[in-house]
Amino acid sequence: MNKNVNSQYHRCEYRHNNFLLHEHSNLKEFKHDGSNQCWMRETKKIEDKYFCAFHMPENHEDEECQKLQSLTLRELIEEWNADKEINVFLMFGMRCGEIDFNGITFKSDAYFNESTFTGDTIFNKTIFSGSIHFGKSTFLRNPQFNKASFANNAFFDNVKFIEGASFGEATFYNNAIFFNAKFSQLTYFAESIFRKDAMFSGAKFNGYAFFYRCLFKKICAFESVAFNDVTNFNRTEIYIGPDMGRCSFKKAPSFHDVSMSQSVIFREARFSDVISEDAAANYRTLKVAMNKASNKIQEGVFYGLEQASLRNQPEAKFSFKLFSRLYEKSSNYGQSLTKPIRYFVSINTLFFFIYCCIKFPMTRIYEYVNSGLPNFGDNLSLVVSFIFSNIPSVFKIGSSTLVKDTFGDLSSFQQLLVSILALSQSLISITLITLFILAIRRIFKLN
């Protein structure tokens, strides 16, 4: 475009704060005298200064200006493409209405950093031969990049997509950088191909995140991403990762028929959905994937989420809900070694106090106050050995000799009460020991 620059054209006065000229070797060839001012045929004089249609002060934008934008930008790109010298296309901080780049080719690097796209923005089947830079830009309408191909790095870092974004069947031949991008409404990446690294860390998806049947050939980084709606990665192929560490998922993410690498990471990810209809199935899929990757801890996390989701389904039976809840509380679905032990100790301590109350009835409290507990040490050791002998002898509970040896003569009601208590103590203790052993097995088993 600069080749045809003629002195009769006015220079646009817009200056961009973060002009990158010195940082980018390609840009040295840029002919605009090392400044970031753009040359335009059509400029408007505003208070002694000239501005192009893309950099007009906001209160001076009018219909005429918007018409100029859509016509001129395509024209400028075509002119730039025709220029034999390879320069970069610079349009920092522009404000642009409707544009249609359907099928157009960008011959080299193009910079649209910190721009605002206010109208329909169409890049369908566009070929970006150089790197493309949209860093910190805002798209007010759903931009379309369907079937676009990005031959070099594509920078969409910190971009705000206010009304969704479409990248269906797009191909990223180099790195796709979407760090801290904010996606609202539907984000459509179905059947996109990422041949190099896909970097989405820190991004926010406030609408449906649709990554159906994508192909991630290199690093697939989604660290600390907030998925605030449905997340669909079904039938996606991922060669490295995905790294979903510290992500938050408002709805159970769907990863059905995904081929993931062994390096898949969900460390410290937060899942807040255990009620939606497909939550259990979604967690089950992830559980199986973690099992394949031999990631025991994460497998356990997804197993727990699956169980909690099943419990919340309307058709879940009461007994299932009860035992599921008990299993969660007592050992966190077999994930916790310390929980069963803690419960074992505290429950048996409780029974010890109950047995003591039977051994030393409160009705004789005056007697104890006056002359102390009778044979305190001996009686205490009797109760303790009663506790221990109960634990393994669930089928011998209530054997009258054992009860008699410990508590002396009891009324038949008291004898029945002690038998029931002993049975409960034994059953609970055996269950907790079993849960402890199962947790050891689950956590340390080889495969």
Residue numbers of the site for Zn ion (CB under 5 A)? 12, 14, 38, 52, 55
Residue nearest to Zn ion (CB): 12
State the minimum distance, in angstroms, from the CB of residue 92 to Zn ion. Answer: 9
Instruction: Rank residues 52 and 148 by Cβ distance to Zn ion and give the closer one.
Output: 52
Q: Please report, to the nearest 10 degrees, the dihedral formed by the alpha carbons of residues 279, 285, 291, 296 taken in order.
A: -10
Whole-number CA gyration radius for the chain? 35
Tokens encoding 108: 């080299």
Closest by CA to 396, choosing from 428, 418, 419, 429, is 419
Report the distance separating Cα 319 and Cα 304, nearest Å: 18
State the minimum distance, in angstroms, from the CB of residue 134 to Zn ion. Answer: 18
Instruction: Rank residues 52 and 264 by Cβ distance to Zn ion and give the closer one.
Output: 52
Instruction: Rank residues 137 and 307 by Cβ distance to Zn ion and give the closer one.
Output: 137
Tokens encoding 350: 């409780």
Distances from the Cα of 7 to the Cα of 4, 10, 39, 48, 393, angstroms: 10, 7, 10, 18, 103
- Identify whether the C-beta of residue 112 lies closer than 8 Å to the C-beta of residue 135: no
Instruction: Rank residues 115 and 336 by Cβ distance to Zn ion and give the closer one.
Output: 115
State the minimum distance, in angstroms, from the CB of residue 94 to Zn ion. Answer: 7
Report the distance separating Cα 35 and Cα 235, nearest Å: 48
State the minimum distance, in angstroms, from the CB of residue 70 to Zn ion. Answer: 15
State the minimum distance, in angstroms, from the CB of residue 14 to Zn ion. Answer: 4
Instruction: Rank residues 21 and 417 by Cβ distance to Zn ion and give the closer one.
Output: 21
Please give the full DSSP string across 298-347, using - where no structure is assigned: HHHHHHHHHHHHHHTSTT--HHHHHHHHHHHHHHTTTT-SHHHHHHHHHH
Instruction: Rank residues 44 and 284 by Cβ distance to Zn ion and give the closer one.
Output: 44
- Identify whether the C-beta of residue 220 lies closer than 8 Å to the C-beta of residue 193: no
State the minimum distance, in angstroms, from the CB of residue 213 to Zn ion. Answer: 41
Question: Around Cβ 35, how many Cβ atoms within 10 Å?
Answer: 12
State the minimum distance, in angstroms, from the CB of residue 2 to Zn ion. Answer: 13
Instruction: Rank residues 14 and 156 by Cβ distance to Zn ion and give the closer one.
Output: 14
